A and B are shown apart, each in its own frame.
Chain A
């Protein structure tokens, strides 16, 4: 792709607030004229990234290039970008017309030209008769339109939108989505859109950038991201999904839920642990025993408007979510199959917790600045690599009993157990497999089970 196609180029961008790293080595480009969405849960850093592009925040490291020029030192009022703010930030002391004309007046645009352009954008956002209205008398949706008009009247090179639809009700939001998309087409301006709503991102975007914990997880078109999520986080965040532990047997063959399935993925190697994603609409019911790949019992069935959402227990003890237009009665035995195309195999991000520790004595190893009772044969002071399997971490209700405390940060249901991400009090992460039900944000005491742990001396060259 030609370099001129890229209107914004972000290279190695990092930002910390105090000790907390909000953005970590972001690399990203935006094509001229595209609708790009920064998508992630709240606190993932997406708004920080947008504010750095707008110029309200300065990056700690890395650069933002606009049309090939670094805009690091350029103050916001000199950047040819405009922002639609989350809560609109319309000036309450000005009427609709003056709000929209604000930017043009600052640039000393001739009166007639201002008049022409304000009327034009008012027409574009379907608010033509509102120019004399006080902005505080407008409804949320109308304020939204004026905020958009105020930004695009300046004909920015890039329009930045910070969760602009978050304050609207569902019906209004859907209507505005369609209008935004049409506006984008009509104007030909590059849009950078921030949202935590995956459905909105899928509806609007040409390109979606999924961000979590300050890092880019995946960049792709909506269909790419939906059909081929690169990791469990993306799969879980975008749409509904069944995320399961699997094992790649060989190219084009994968085992999960204790059955073997044909798939289309290659190049993982043989007999390699993987994560598997199957969308609930991609599991099909059949009455043909020849087609049936596995059997299950329906344990719940809920009508969701267009489709039914069912949970089934497989004959091998896994729970799967299925969406289908036809309901199956609770308790009935069903035959199911999955198309090879619809199985998404993902590389496992990690197979265990690999921690570094220092041997204190024969009974104790210091990890995360805490003393864990782990019997070992190493000399005191030896640096060791502590390999703790996901099942080797015990979570306790009683914080006092834990060697270390933490908080449940992220929960993934894997069909027959939960895979939790625990954030320790010091900000380190531990990954845990458990059958117990925890909620996000629960405080837990953490213990390591010595029997499951593998110790090895730390390689000097590491």
Chain B
């Protein structure tokens, strides 16, 4: 019961409010104009496309760096201590905004032009632990006898990885993707600080609209994003339950 009250106050109610705002014009009349405005506005659509593109690039980058890192951490021959794992997760303990500001300062100091490169760097830096941790968890808990069985059946170390370890660590990768991809679509602070607002992401325009008291259009954009994120989780369908195992 307390859970139910919590759910209503913090989840259902805010969602309903977003929906109500999204379907009203400035004077409180119900309308679909906010939604149609988004789909007819070229700028909004291209920002949205760019956001998805950046999110995909960032997620791919996180997998490319995070998987080997997780693999090394989970390998008992290469890493014997749990402390190293904590060190990798440590950046998560510091406020993301502060890290981003500091990163931006470093780039300015080094005289590096802020742009898409610095944006991806910052995003990857911020979200990498969310990719490493679930993959590490899955790899760490994986029964060693699977790899041994594959070897025993004639698989070379490379084949063991491709045919057994990688497929079995998919749940970890999937939950890493969920934890990296979705927040990156809606992020605005990182793009603001690390590109000096040169690159606008979907999160940025939502924030701008709301900051400029255009609550209804902002809410509509937020609502559209929610739907799209919702659809992308559906794609994972039955992977979801296994993905959750990866997070814990």
Contacts and interface: CB of A to CB of B under 8 A. Distances in A.
Interface of A: 54-56, 75-78, 81-83, 85-87, 89-93, 102-103, 106-107, 150-151, 154
A93 B146 CA distance: 11
B88 to A, nearest CB: 27
B208 interface: no
B154 interface: yes
B146 A91 contact: yes
Nearest to A154: B153
A106 B143 contact: no
B244 interface: no
26 contacts: A55-B151, A75-B151, A77-B151, A77-B152, A77-B154, A77-B155, A77-B159, A78-B154, A81-B152, A82-B152, A82-B153, A83-B149, A85-B148, A86-B145, A89-B149, A91-B146, A91-B149, A91-B150, A102-B153, A102-B155, A103-B153, A106-B153, A106-B155, A106-B159, A150-B153, A151-B153
B167 interface: yes
B18 interface: no
Contacts of A150: 149, 153
A220 B163 CA distance: 42
B141 to A, nearest CB: 13
Contact of B145 (A55, A85, A106): A85
Contacts of A106: 153-155, 159, 163
Interface residues of B, number: 18
B31 interface: no
Given A87-B143, A92-B168, A107 B154 contact: yes
Nearest to A93: B167
A89 B143 contact: yes
Contact of B148 (A76, A103, A151): A76
Contacts of B150: 91, 102
Interface of B: 143, 145-146, 148-156, 159, 163-164, 167-168, 170
Nearest to A75: B151
User: What 10 A-B pairs have minimum CB-CB distances, sorted nearest first?
Assistant: A103-B153, A89-B145, A89-B149, A76-B151, A93-B167, A106-B154, A83-B152, A77-B151, A77-B154, A85-B145
Nearest to B149: A89
B35 to A, nearest CB: 41
Nearest to A87: B145
Contacts of A75: 151
Contacts of A91: 146, 149-150, 164, 168
Contacts of B153: 77, 82, 102-103, 106, 150-151, 154
B154 A103 contact: yes
Contacts of B164: 91
A103 B143 CA distance: 19
Contacts of B156: 77
Contacts of A93: 167-168, 170
Contacts of B152: 54, 76-77, 81-83, 151
Nearest to B152: A83
B147 to A, nearest CB: 9
A85 B150 CA distance: 11
Contacts of A151: 152-153
A456 B146 CA distance: 58
Contacts of B143: 87, 89
Given A83-B149, A87-B143, 17 more contacts: A77-B152, A77-B155, A81-B152, A82-B153, A85-B145, A85-B148, A89-B143, A89-B145, A89-B148, A90-B149, A91-B146, A91-B164, A91-B168, A93-B168, A102-B150, A103-B153, A150-B153
